[in-house]
Amino acid sequence: MIQTISNFRLLVVVIVLSAIFVLNSASIITKAPATRVKASVKLIILDPGHGHATFMQGSVNPEIDPEVHVYAPAGPDVQQYINSIERANSRKSNPTNWKLVVYTGPDYLQKMLSEKKGNAVLISGNNSRKSLYIRSSVEAGFHVIADKPMAITDFKALKKSFEIAKRKGLVLFDPMDLRYDISNILQKELALMPGLFGSLQKGSLENPTLVQANLHHYLKGPTGQTGVRPAWFFDVDQQGHGIVDVSTHLVDLNQWLAFPVESLNYKTDIKMISSREWPTKLRPSEFKLVTRVDGYPPYLKKDLQDSILSVYSNGEMNYTLKGIHSKVTVLWNYKEPAGSSDTHYSLMRGTKADLEIRQGAAEQYKATLFIKPLAGTNPTEFENSIKAAGEKLQQQYPGTEFVKKGNEWEVKPGKFQRTNSTEVAVNYIKNGKMPEWEAPNMIAKYFITIGALKKAKR
């Protein structure tokens, strides 16, 4: 009898334990965490020396592995990058979760190439080293995302890097943020509407059809709160002349606006007519305020006269793009006036209307697009074209309005989801390719900027 009870108790225990196991097994199955999708981009940061080195790390992106390897010479440039990432990781609103693995030995480039800790290299820093960095990276099999300018003097070396990248099936890309501003997007959209814009005029040297101009400032915001620029930023041998630096964005816009998704041939589609450059002059106190550096480094002595530093950051170029007269101007002033901002100006001349972006005081320093019908245009017909254009834009940008102001129409954008240049770069890497027109148009872009510098020097 005692044995029977013991067996019964044993049977009950077995049944209970089995039930618990089944329940726990079901719980494990139903609550199992989702399998983590492998990131498309394993990022490497090479010698960061510019704030743009962090542009792919501004927010958490599941397509980018949170572990990022950094290779750079020891010094203030890499430390400034590290500090920026630490601030992003510790901010209260939408903090990031980057884990940096930093190497700062003198053989940092060779170390990066041999260790192969990622599949994409981001290069943003001293422009004099970019040709070497880009060529070495693509030869080693890395995708490359390079901050502009990719090249400041050596066009042939850059072209060779593009050839290597194409042969190896790699992405070599310089993100152009101005393409994603709504004013530029709407300007391009309207230029594709023959009923409103007509077609591009040929223009002339005196009245170019495609015009781009930017004004920048070395010192921004209240004194003491401005971003620090490295001293080498003011050396044209390291940063590049203005005509090959910021102008990269402007040349890109002329191509993107006038010939979207069309491949350009730098040998046949471009003719440089004229170019010139001139300096912005800085006093020692101004240089110190911008760089936090006492005294001028030796490499700037060549640009000094009576303690005044001449920085050749201003330039202008006139050229034709597939026969269309084009002009690009870039300007740098020392200090941003109170209440003002950097500004951008853009003009496209059509056979029916001009499309003009202004960003001055009258626009409260906000880029604003205007449509200006040509003299002699029938008012009723043009208003019908405006109405048709508005209806078409509503489909993609609901709420977009055209407001008549005198003899022109102001375009007020509606709902708009800005494309992030990080997403574009990630998608290019993820797909292992870019649109067919990207590479030839980048080559054409640098052929223009470097050609303009050569002509200005002559």
| pLDDT tens for each residue of 14-67 | 333 344 333 333 333 333 333 445 889 999 999 999 888 898 999 999 999 999
Which of 144, 176, 208 is the endpoint of a domain?
176
| Residue in the block written with tokens 């039930």 | 19
Q: Is residue 31 part of a domain?
A: no
Cα angle 84, 87, 90; round to 5: 150
309 and 251 housed in the same domain: yes
Cα distance between residue 260 and residue 437, in whole Å: 9
| % of the chain with per-residue pLDDT over 70 | 91
User: Which has more pLDDT, 159 or 31?
Assistant: 159
pLDDT of residue 225: 56
Residue 253: name the closest of 355, 159, 151 by CA: 355
| 3-state SS assignment for residue 370 | strand
309 and 450 housed in the same domain: yes
Q: Is residue 35 part of a domain?
A: no
In the structure encoding, which two tokens stand for residue 333, read together? 């002033």
Q: Kindly report which listed range (52-56, 61-65, 103-107, 267-271) carries the lowest average pLDDT score.
A: 52-56
241 and 168 housed in the same domain: no
Overall size of the chain counted in residues: 458
284 and 297 housed in the same domain: yes
Cα angle 17, 23, 24; round to 5: 90
The number of beta carbons lying within 10 Å of the beta carbon of residue 434 is: 18
Q: Is residue 298 part of a domain?
A: yes
Q: Which residues, 6 or more positions from 422, have their beta carbon under 8 angstroms from its beta carbon?
A: 55, 56, 58, 61, 175
| 3-state SS assignment for residue 78 | helix
151 and 266 housed in the same domain: no
Does the pLDDT at position 171 exceed 90?
yes
CA 436 from centroid of its chain's CA atoms: 19
Q: Which residues, 6 or more positions from 391, have their beta carbon under 8 angstroms from its beta carbon?
A: none
184 and 271 housed in the same domain: yes
129 and 225 housed in the same domain: no
Number of domains in the chain: 2
Q: Is residue 244 part of a domain?
A: yes
Q: Is residue 5 part of a domain?
A: no
- In the chain the first and final C-alpha atoms are separated, in Å, by 114
In the structure encoding, which two tokens stand for residue 260, read together? 């979207």
pLDDT of residue 223: 57
Cα distance between residue 274 and residue 316, in whole Å: 8
Domain range for 54: 43-176
Q: Is residue 323 part of a domain?
A: yes
222 and 130 housed in the same domain: no
| 3-state SS assignment for residue 347 | strand
Which of 157, 176, 195 is the endpoint of a domain?
176
CA 398 from centroid of its chain's CA atoms: 26
User: Which has more pLDDT, 16 or 140?
Assistant: 140
Q: What is the dihedral of CA 287, 289, 293, 294, to 10 degrees?
A: 80
Q: Is residue 18 part of a domain?
A: no
pLDDT of residue 2: 34
Which of 158, 176, 194 is the endpoint of a domain?
176
Q: Which helix (H) or strand (E) holds 241?
A: none
Q: Is residue 24 part of a domain?
A: no
238 and 199 housed in the same domain: yes
365 and 446 housed in the same domain: yes
